[in-house]
Structure 1
Amino acid sequence: MIISIRTHTWLVFALLSLASLPLLAQEATLPPFSKMESLTDGWEPLEFPNIDQHSHYELTRENGAQVVKAQTSGGASGLITRLNIMPEDSPMLSWRWKVSNVFAKGDARKKSGDDYPARIYVAFEFEPEKAGFFERAKRKTVEVLFGEELPGNALNYIWANTLPEGEFIANPYTDKTMMIAVNSGSGNAGEWVTIERDIMADYRKAFGENPPPIRGIAIMSDSDNTGEQASAWYGDISLTKAKQD
């Protein structure tokens, strides 16, 4: 069986171990970039088997706050943190980020343009009872190769080039990952932008059902398809309970 390394459903989190962790119904705290002493404080490198050129991540200070700076130039890699959170409380995902530029050849609808100066993945638990035979077989092959249990569907919040802000589309490699443009174009390039998303509402809109547990969150700045260059800055990412009316 041939496995496409760029198929995001199977390999975006190929190095993410999904060991059993207590399910959390309360607010969850992601390791804050602002308090980290190194990039390994609760986060791990996300690298791909056939991509030798990696994006560069470092802790830096912006306006008195410590953030993560990413630089990508024709490569791809990210940082991941493992979670196991029940989404019944409709957790709100909040973060702030900044990019130097968008990619001229970036196009979320095409494999050749599937690059973003900044993106955040939310990966969910795989639900085998909803998967077909061939999907289960492909997953099993990847798990044998990499020794990891892989997550299922994913939401991918992106700083897009031309995809209109607010639009949902399937990733050009797989419909198991839905792309959501939370920023679009270069109008806000060079500025800090704050984003807040209702994960449960987004999952329902993307996949037409309630989400299973959240198993991981990752940041990634990548340019391996377009070969372009960009820098991005990521502030703290937080999960909190949805606001009550």
Structure 2
Amino acid sequence: MLRPRSNVGQNTKAGQPHPSVISNGSFSSVTTVRFPLLLLAGSLLSVLLVAVAGPPSLRIGDFSGQAPSNSVPDGWEQIRFGDNESSTRYDLVRRDSAVVLRARSSNGASGLITHQRVDLEQYPILEWRWRVDRLSAGADVTKETRADAAARVYVTFDYDGLGLLDRIRLALLRRVGYSDAPSRALNYLWARENGQERVVESPYTDQIMIMPVRSGRGQTGEWVRERRNVLADYRRAFGESPPAVNGVAIMTDTDNTADSARAFYGDIVFRPSEAGTDSVERRPSGSE
């Protein structure tokens, strides 16, 4: 009887198995070697992806992650000014499908602040969105008697280079009720009059520089997204490299004009630098 010839053993030396026949012991050895290599490759890939993605963003004002409430947002505290009994009212409300911070001021002034340290060399970009429904009539941030604004975002700095006169002035301010008065700050605001891209000294102190990043009534009632390079803005305003950020504050005030204003603030985030990022980029939030 003719039987089919087996291929096993062909082209092999006597006593050696065919390459297609692998013993259990050989398979286990290969698996034992390959598995750690695969784990190492996966770990290296994860590290590479994190390096490419860069450091995570710092969410300073996470209003959208909280529930609507009449209380001050988590991680924030109220700033009151001297004997002013009429304070701006702040609460978390749902507006346009997200929880945001609402500010309502009527002949009053107060703010909210969160104390957090940020290294601008690593996180120079500040992003937030805001909406102003009503501007205070007669406001002028360059005049002490009319220095109101419907919406402000302050970035405060851990600055220890004040001269003697400024240190005395700061100590007096803190003693009479301005306990959160910063030693140095940038103030981004929505001004009543057109004045974008100016750097204006505060009428109260030359250690606070004002930057009107939005002005006028043209976009009232709309959500507007802002993006600032705080590192570049500080150098432009003060002519030197900045110290670490030690806080962010927001304020809507109408005490000087005895008028009223209403504004909304969305999440506030510090981000790492990006290649090709301009120092200033502004666009309506609906353009994304």
- Do Structure 1 and Structure 2 share a fold, with TM-score over 0.5? yes
Tell me which amino acid in the other structure corresponds to 2:128.
Answer: W
Matched with 1:21 is none
Matched with 2:217 is 186
DSSP-derived class of the 1:138 partner: helix
Matched with 1:4 is none
1:61-140 equivalences in 2 (<5 Å): 61-127=94-160, 130-140=161-171
The 8 Å contact of residues 92 and 100 in structure 2, kept in 1 or not, is answered as yes
Q: Which has the larger radius of gyration?
A: 2
CA distance in 2, matches of 1:141, 1:174: 13
Tell me which amino acid in the other structure corresponds to 1:82.
Answer: H
CA distance in 1, matches of 2:138, 2:199: 19
1:1-245 equivalences in 2 (<5 Å): 27-37=57-67, 38=69, 39-127=72-160, 130-141=161-172, 151-245=182-276
Matched with 1:20 is none
Output one character per residue of 1:101-133: Cα deviation in whole Å (capped at 9) or x when no partner. 222201122112210111111100121xx3222
For residues 31 and 181 of structure 1, do their structure 2 counterparts lie closer, same or farther at Cα, with a shift above 3 Å needed? closer
DSSP-derived class of the 1:58 partner: strand
CA distance in 2, matches of 1:192, 1:144: 38
Task: Structure 2: give runs of 5+ residues left out of the alignment.
Answer: 1-54, 277-288
Tell me which amino acid in the other structure corresponds to 1:28.
Answer: L
For residues 101 and 147 of structure 1, do their structure 2 counterparts lie closer, same or farther at Cα, with a shift above 3 Å needed? closer
User: Shift in Å at residue 27 of structure 1?
Assistant: 3.8
The 8 Å contact of residues 151 and 215 in structure 1, kept in 2 or not, is answered as no
Task: Structure 1: give runs of 5+ residues left out of the alignment.
Answer: 1-24
Tell me which amino acid in the other structure corresponds to 1:56.
Answer: R
Output one character per residue of 1:21-67: Cα deviation in whole Å (capped at 9) or x when no partner. xxxx9742214001124524111111122211000111111111000
CA distance in 2, matches of 1:67, 1:184: 21
The 8 Å contact of residues 80 and 178 in structure 2, kept in 1 or not, is answered as no
CA distance in 2, matches of 1:31, 1:195: 14
User: Shift in Å at residue 152 of structure 1?
Assistant: 1.8
TM norm structure 2: 0.71
- Higher mean C-alpha deviation, range 100-109 or range 184-193: 100-109
For residues 144 and 114 of structure 1, do their structure 2 counterparts lie closer, same or farther at Cα, with a shift above 3 Å needed? closer
DSSP-derived class of the 1:206 partner: helix
CA distance in 1, matches of 2:100, 2:242: 30
The 8 Å contact of residues 108 and 172 in structure 1, kept in 2 or not, is answered as yes
Q: Looking at both structures, which has the greater relative contact order when contacts are Cα pairs under 8 Å and sequence separation is at least 6?
A: 1
DSSP-derived class of the 1:235 partner: strand
Report percent identity of matched pairs.
Answer: 39
Tell me which amino acid in the other structure corresponds to 2:126.
Answer: L
CA distance in 1, matches of 2:140, 2:61: 31
DSSP-derived class of the 1:83 partner: coil
For residues 197 and 186 of structure 1, do their structure 2 counterparts lie closer, same or farther at Cα, with a shift above 3 Å needed? same
CA distance in 1, matches of 2:82, 2:178: 13
For residues 133 and 192 of structure 1, do their structure 2 counterparts lie closer, same or farther at Cα, with a shift above 3 Å needed? same
